[in-house]
Amino acid sequence: MTRLLFEKTGKAVWISHLDLMRLFQRAFQRAGLPLTHTHGFNPRPSVSIALPMSVGVESGCELLDFALDGAAVPCEEIRDRLNAALVSGVRILRVYEDGQKLKNLAWLDCCLTLEYDHGVPPEAAGRLRALFSRPSLPVQKKSKNGVTEQDIIPLLKRVELEQAEENTLTLLARVRCQNPALNPMQLLAAVDRYQPELSPDFCRCRRVEVYDENGNVFR
């Protein structure tokens, strides 16, 4: 098993998780790097992405596990050949011969960019800091079984707010990403629910880095 770290930016953020798997399978093929296949009735090339991501989210820390068929290829060569076969916006940063067990993946740093077309409302950073300091913050969560309430505070390690420009506010947060996971966009849902006057006109989301339970970078 080999692992690679890639980023997903630009137009590529609109590619869904399933489509991205297919895109990687074809990129491996184009790069002349044949993948092993699953042993099923309908064999599929074996690639898996650690944390499926919502459409529209940007990332600089995606992990993909794969297994090559045939002779070993040096990691740098895999990276370069894949990058030459990938669409713009999907770029391999590094290839690792091995990796930690995925079950140890625990935390995710993410950055929400809140865009206010008519300027950031006064005191917004402070008011949002206060909001995320509450002891509990239930937000509606849509799942297969319908809508449930999810308290986001236990799944949130820290929140930092910074006004970068006149019209944007950045919210940096460390959220749990497995067992259970918190979708970073739930932070926006909390704003919409409890501070609707601070709801931005648009919000972008970027995954920044992943960590294990102890806060060490996960690879």
Partner 1 sequence: MTDRKQRLLPAVQKPARYTGGEWGEVQKNKDEIHIRVAFCFPDTYEIGMSNLGMRILYGVMNNQPDVWCERVFAPWGDMEAALRREALPLWALESQDPVKDFDMIAFTIGYEMAYSNVLNMLDLAGVPLHASERTGLKNIVFAGGVCTFNPEPLADFVDFFSLGEGEESTVEILDVYRRAKAEDWTKEWFLREVAKVPGVYVPSLYTPVYEPDGRLKEIIRVEGAPEIVTKRIVENLDEAYFPTKMLVPSTEIVHDRANLELFRGCIRGCRFCQAGFSCRPVRRKSPEVLYRQATELLEHSGNNEITLSSLSTSDYKDLRELTDALIPYCEAHKFSMSVPSLRADNFSRELMERVQAVRKSGLTFAPEAGTQRLRDVINKNLQEEEILSTCAIAFAGGWSHVKLYFMLGLPTETDEDVLGIAELVYKIIQLWKENGVNRKRGLSIRLATAYFVPKPHTPFQWEQQITPQEYLRRCKLLKEHLYSKCVEYDYHSPDLSRLEAVFARGDRRLGPVIEEAVRSGARLDGWDEYFRYDLWQEAFAKCGVDPNFYTVRGYGEEELLPWDMMDVGVSKAFLLRERRRAYESRVTPDCRHGCAGCGANCLLKEAGCDD
DSSP secondary structure string for all residues of 117-149 = TT-PPTTHHHHHHHHTTSS--EEEEEETTEEEE
Q: Determine how many CB atoms are found less than 10 A away from the CB of residue 130.
A: 11
Query: Of 70, 88, 145, 146, which lies in the binding site for partner 1, with binding defined by CB under 8 A?
Result: 88
Tell the smallest beta-carbon distance from residue 201 to partner 1 (Å).
Answer: 8
The CA-atom distances, in angstroms, between 99 and each of 9, 38, 86, 147 are: 24, 20, 23, 36
Among 68, 73, 75, 85, binds partner 1 (CB under 8 A): 85
Among 5, 7, 28, 78, binds partner 1 (CB under 8 A): 28
Listed ranges 20-28, 60-68, 133-141, 209-217: which one lies at the site for partner 1 (CB under 8 A): 20-28
Q: Does 204 bind partner 1 (CB under 8 A)?
A: yes
In angstroms, rounded to a whole number, what is the distance separating the alpha carbons of residues 18 and 49?
10
18: contact with partner 1 by CB under 8 A = yes
C-beta separation of 41 from 195 below 8 A:
no
Judged by beta carbon, residue 11 or residue 94, the one nearer partner 1 is 11
Q: Kindly identify the residues of this chain, within the stretch 113-132, that bind partner 1 according to CB under 8 A.
A: 115, 117
Q: Does 19 bind partner 1 (CB under 8 A)?
A: yes
Query: What sign for the dihedral angle of Cα 48, 49, 54, 55?
Result: negative
Q: Looking up tokens 């890639």, which residue turns up?
A: 6
CB of 188 to partner 1, least distance (A): 11
Determine, following the binding rule CB under 8 A, whether residue 141 of this chain makes contact with partner 1.
no
Dihedral pair phi/psi, residue 174, rounded to 5°: -105, 120
Contacting residues toward partner 1, per CB under 8 A: 10-12, 14-16, 18-19, 22-23, 25-30, 34, 37, 43, 45, 55-56, 85-89, 115, 117, 167-168, 201-202, 204
